[in-house]
Structure formats: structure tokens, C-alpha cells
Chains A and B, each alone.
Chain A
């Protein structure tokens, strides 16, 4: 079954650690996105990609980086985690068809202590 997977689901990590949040999709979608969302708040776009070797920063300033070496894989890396990075991170993908809906993974809940 085609889907989008995020690992880990939950992560508690100390300040200063390097972390990578994984996101993979099996739908062959060209477009992939990373959103950040806090409880009761809107989703904010932090990174997106329209294809292999294409990455762009979103509206929300983020200290994270992304890569897109393969169509199906769009990992997000924080070089040095801080408590302000505590949030939920949602990965999504969509086809290249005009305004096709986003398909989301189940998210990674990150807590930095």
C-alpha cells in the first residue's frame, strides 16, 4: 500500500545533539514538504522539494537542513538541537498534478531537554 512513513515517532534528546528525522514515501511523488506544528497552532512550512536535488526553505525560519538525493526520501537534520526545537514535525508529499492534495506522515514528536 502506498504511504508516507516518518521515523522515529517520538524522540527525546539532549541539547546540542545532532538528529535526523526520516521521511520516506512509496507513492513516487515529486513534491515533498516538512512542516512544524505546535499544539493549537497552525502548520508552518519549513522546507520543501519539487524533485531530486531540489530543496527550498519555507516561510518559517528554521535551523534545520534537508536533502533530496532520492525521490522517495526527504530527511531533515538538526545539527545541534535546542529546547526551542521542541515541536511536532510533519512530512508530506504530493504529486505534480496541479494542486493535488498533500499526503502526510504521522509525524515525529521531538522533545529537546
Chain B
């Protein structure tokens, strides 16, 4: 049973526009959420995180929104740039030992 779901395997966005990547979760005990970015043949790199006590966290062009009642979070990238083309993973944890539960990723393609 997947506790973290990224329902869009891929997303194509025009350069300069906003990219919105979505993530749903089922475990109401999750209290910390992260987004990672992965280029081909490289490991994932940490992008941004959010605690369940917040509903928004912003870092430059990246903003993560958390809707606890809907068990939904989203990552907004604006403006989208060619270098943003990558696979984006959503991950969540409820564990003080920090065991992450991962989504299957969304491949973002930025079109010139």
C-alpha cells in the first residue's frame, strides 16, 4: 500500500511558466515532508522541506504548499528553467528516526 503517491509520472511545462508538482499521502502521522530532485545517472539532491506546523515554505524559485486536511502537498517552481528538467521525488516521515517514505517521482520536462 503506497503511503505517498505522485500520480503524474510526467509533466511538460513551457520555459518561464510555473511548474506545479503534486503529492498525496495517506498516513495522517506524517509530520515532515521533503522534495528531492534527481538528474539521470545521479543521486537525488535535497530541494526543500516543510513541517506539518506550516502550510507554506519558500526558497527562491521553489515553494512547497501543504494542505493537511486534504493530505496533499505541492511544489511550485516559478519561473521554470531548462535546468529544472529532472525527476522530482516527494518524501514524508513520521519517524523521529527519520525513516523516509518516498513517492515514485514525477519527470518534469521544461520545453524551450
Chain A residues close to B by CB (< 8 Å): 4, 6, 9, 31, 40-45, 48, 50, 58-59, 90, 92, 94, 99, 101-107
Contact = CB atoms under 8 A, between A and B. Distances in A.
24 contacts: A4-B43, A31-B98, A42-B2, A42-B4, A42-B89, A42-B103, A43-B44, A43-B91, A43-B100, A44-B102, A58-B99, A59-B99, A90-B43, A90-B44, A92-B43, A99-B32, A99-B93, A99-B98, A101-B34, A102-B46, A102-B100, A103-B46, A106-B42, A107-B41
B104 interface: yes
A109 to B, nearest CB: 8
Given A41-B105, A101-B34, 19 more contacts: A4-B43, A40-B105, A41-B104, A42-B2, A42-B89, A42-B101, A42-B102, A42-B104, A43-B100, A43-B102, A59-B99, A90-B43, A99-B49, A101-B49, A102-B46, A104-B43, A104-B44, A106-B41, A106-B42
B5 to A, nearest CB: 9
Please classify how large the interface on chain B is, using the bins under 10, 10 to 19, 20 to 34, 35 or more: 20 to 34
Contacts, number: 54
A103 B93 CA distance: 16
In this complex, the member of B9, B42, B89, B98 whose beta carbon has the largest number of chain A beta carbons within 10 angstroms is: B98
B27 interface: no
Contacts of A9: 41
A57 B53 CA distance: 31
A30 B28 CA distance: 29
Contact of A104 (B32, B45, B104): B45
Contact of A106 (B43, B49, B93, B98): B43
Contacts of B44: 43, 90, 102, 104
A-B pairs, 4 with minimum CB distance: A104-B43, A101-B46, A42-B102, A43-B102
A35 to B, nearest CB: 8
In this complex, the member of B89, B97, B102, B103 whose beta carbon has the largest number of chain A beta carbons within 10 angstroms is: B102
